[in-house]
Amino acid sequence: MTERAAVTAESVYKVFGQGAHAVHALENVSLSIQQGEFFTLLGPSGCGKTTLLRLIAGFEMPSGGHILLDGQDVTDLPPNKRPVNTVFQSYALFPHLSVRQNVGFALKMQGRPKAEIDGRTEQMMALVKLESMADRKVAQLSGGQQQRVALARALAPQPKVLLLDEPLSALDLKLRKEMQVELKRLQTETGITFVFVTHDQEEALTMSDRIGVMSAGKLQQVASPRDIYTAPVNRFVANFIGETNLLPVTAAKGGYQLGCGVIVSADGNGSTLSIRPEQIRVADSKAKGAIEARVTNLVYFGTDVHAHLELGDGAKMVARLPLPPGGDTGLMRGSNICVDFVPGAARLIGE
């Protein structure tokens, strides 16, 4: 790595409380986020995403480990001495100040000259298209507008890193989609490193350069959206991102043997095979690697049909099959069919 990372976490631990009531919010989290990257922390509720963000911002001190910003150890610095800003989930706008004063707050605290404050404030309000509301109190704004003020306020002092804690979760679906595009545009335009927290996997997959998947205080996998989806490293990631079928396998000559006896090929290592529903197709019974299955249920989803399958050994799978133009797959509940896997799609994963 030649470039210095924007954010580095070195074996970070965070424990809340003591003794029997201790909560291990983060365990041995090591992470390196590059300059200008759109990095997303993704995980279920309570997995420690906010805690990691608060440690980077300086609102909490780690119980162990170090936080580095731009190569400099900031573990002991208070939040106001760190070149990072936060967009809070609740926005946390100052209700006694106008939009303009909110946006200019950080620059004023830094004691910048008035001309600079005014100039940058205008520029920021233009960036988020709020010029016409500059003198309103924040309580007189809609949720989406408040969201923009929070963004402009955090971007105004030109931080090295912007931290966003589920900034879109309070918006309705349409506004959410708009803001996703808007956020991505802002990030590209400003070139600032974004660390974005969400528990919405679709949001994470569409917006991020890289994703860190978290569970129970541990970082499970850090990779590009594509790799996270196609090459999950363990059962948790495979299950959490999209839908998947998990089947136990044993190593055998020429590949890996499923419980029903069929030998298939797969990449990766581990004793569980993961195959996405859309990567299972109907096959000829004589084809190599064809698996006999009984259709236990058929559920129609617009252009697809979800076929619930039961294999010879009782293992269950779901296959997502495209509906042909006529809308008839020729499948029937209770009938026996043969399926196989798209070549290269099956992955072996660890626990």
Ligand X SMILES: Nc1ncnc2c1ncn2[C@@H]1O[C@H](COP(=O)(O)OP(=O)(O)OP(=O)(O)O)[C@@H](O)[C@H]1O
Residues at the interface with ligand X (CB under 6 A): 16-17, 23, 25, 43, 45-51, 199
Residue 110 contact, options other proteins, ligand X, Mg ion, none, Cβ 5-8 Å cut-off depending on partner type: other proteins
CB nearer to other proteins: pick between 92 and 126: 92
Residue 71 contact, options Mg ion, ligand X, other proteins, none, Cβ 5-8 Å cut-off depending on partner type: none
- Which member of 11, 59, 129, 333 binds other proteins (CB under 8 A)? 59
Residue 90 contact, options Mg ion, other proteins, ligand X, none, Cβ 5-8 Å cut-off depending on partner type: other proteins
CB nearer to Mg ion: pick between 54 and 100: 54
CB nearer to other proteins: pick between 60 and 340: 60
CB 315 within 8 Å of CB 258: yes
Instruction: Give me the least distance between CB of 317 and Mg ion, in Å please.
Output: 34
**String of DSSP letters for 11-35:** EEEEEES-GGG-EEEEEEEEEEE-T
CB nearer to Mg ion: pick between 49 and 148: 49
Q: Please report whether residue 85 would count as binding other proteins according to CB under 8 A.
A: yes
Report the side by side order of strands in the sheet with 336-341.
280-282, 336-341, 291-301, 304-311, 316-322
- Using alpha carbons, select from 116, 114, 56 the residue that is nearest to residue 83: 56
Site string for other proteins, 202-241 (x = CB under 8 A): ----------------------------------------
Per-residue CA distances from 273 to 201, 317, 348 (Å): 22, 12, 5
CB nearer to ligand X: pick between 153 and 199: 199
Strands 38-42, 193-198: parallel, antiparallel or unpaired by DSSP? parallel
- Using alpha carbons, select from 251, 257, 207, 215 the residue that is nearest to residue 233: 215
Q: How many CA atoms lie within 13 A of 324 on its CB side?
A: 6
Q: Please report whether residue 13 would count as binding other proteins according to CB under 8 A.
A: no
- Which member of 9, 40, 43, 50 binds Mg ion (CB under 5 A)? 50
CA pair distance 303, 55, nearest whole angstrom: 45
DSSP 8-state assignment for residue 3? S
CB 5 within 8 Å of CB 35: yes
DSSP SS3 for 303: coil
Residue 199 contact, options other proteins, ligand X, Mg ion, none, Cβ 5-8 Å cut-off depending on partner type: ligand X
Q: Please report whether residue 274 would count as binding Mg ion according to CB under 5 A.
A: no
CB nearer to ligand X: pick between 103 and 164: 164
Instruction: Give me the least distance between CB of 52 and Mg ion, in Å please.
Output: 10
Provide the Cα torsion 70, 74, 77, 80; round to 10°.
Answer: 20
Token representation of residue 5: 């990372």
- Which member of 46, 79, 242, 277 binds other proteins (CB under 8 A)? 79
CB nearer to other proteins: pick between 44 and 78: 78
Token representation of residue 76: 């002991």
List of residues contacting other proteins (CB under 8 A): 57-59, 78-80, 84-86, 88, 90, 92, 94-96, 105-106, 109-110, 153-154, 157
